[in-house]
Amino acid sequence: MSKYISLTRRNCMVFLRDKTAVFFSLLSMLIVLMLMGVFLGNMNVESITGLLAQYGGERDVALDKENATQLVQYWTLAGLMVVNALTVTLSVIGIMVTDANENKLESFYGAPVHRNIIALSYISAAVIIGMLFCMLTLGIALGYISATGGEMLSAETLAQIFGYTLMNVCIFAIIMYMLALFVKSSSAWGGIATVVGTLVGFVGAIYLPMGSLPTGVAEVLKYIPILHGTSLMRKVCCEEAIQTTFADIPQEVIDGYQEYMGISVIMDGTEVQNVSQILFLCMCGVAAFLVIAILTKRKSISDR
């Protein structure tokens, strides 16, 4: 246990000391914030107020805009949490690729430490750093929403957010480690990080809502883990805001909005329930873990 703790602490410190790695792991989040602040946020608010004006009869326009703004803020927060869960764990797992290039990994393998412990230390470091950055993001976002007059989330909702965040971070850390086993150089991993960081906003339907994407693209995204992780986070983050914003609005309008914004995922004409999404994400994590176990065992045998 002491060896595992020491390796995990070492991996965490290596990442945190590299200010460049920390910055680029948060770059996708900064891009989302910039896009939302410049024009996407206003577009989403106008879309909501348009729906309210169309289906809500006589409305308090100022109050509707205030509620819509808060809903968009929580929708954006949900996306940021999942973006960080992916990009931060990807950056931390990059330590393993760097260690392999610098032959440090071979030194670890030569030490009296089981390979599984070494692998687990990289994944654990990714989970710890990923959770740290996600919770910092949550705290800053909630502070901003509170300062601008927004309603705070309930304790039960915050507990759900923590649970979903932990699940996403763990699953993405395992998947990223699995991908790293197929990468031979730091430059190649850097290329993967660039591509993933660019695409994560589209794959998670964060830059553009699901309803704005071509039908074929949207259908493909429904089989990718990040979309379901984002959907789960949006459901819990936006639930209270949706009830407030869409008060006295027909349920079919609310359902259509949630599908358009990627809050709910519809497959074969039926909404995918939370339990099914959680099982799908866990299955992806288990599949990635099994691949890691097989590759690690083969590597161990080939080195004998």
pLDDT tens, position by position, 15-48:
888 887 777 777 767 777 776 666 666 778 888 8
- What average pLDDT does the segment 223-248 reach? 91
Q: Smallest Cα–Cα separation from 60: which of 251, 256, 244, 252?
A: 244
- Record the pTM: 0.89
Is pLDDT above 80 for 230? yes
Q: What is the reported pLDDT for 170? A: 95
Of 201-205, 228-232, 266-270, the range with the highest mean pLDDT is 228-232
Distance CA 282, CA 298 (A): 24
Instruction: Provide the β-strand partners of residue 271.
Output: 266
- What average pLDDT does the segment 151-156 reach? 88
Question: In the predicted model, what is the mean pLDDT of the chain?
Answer: 85
Distance CA 284, CA 281 (A): 5
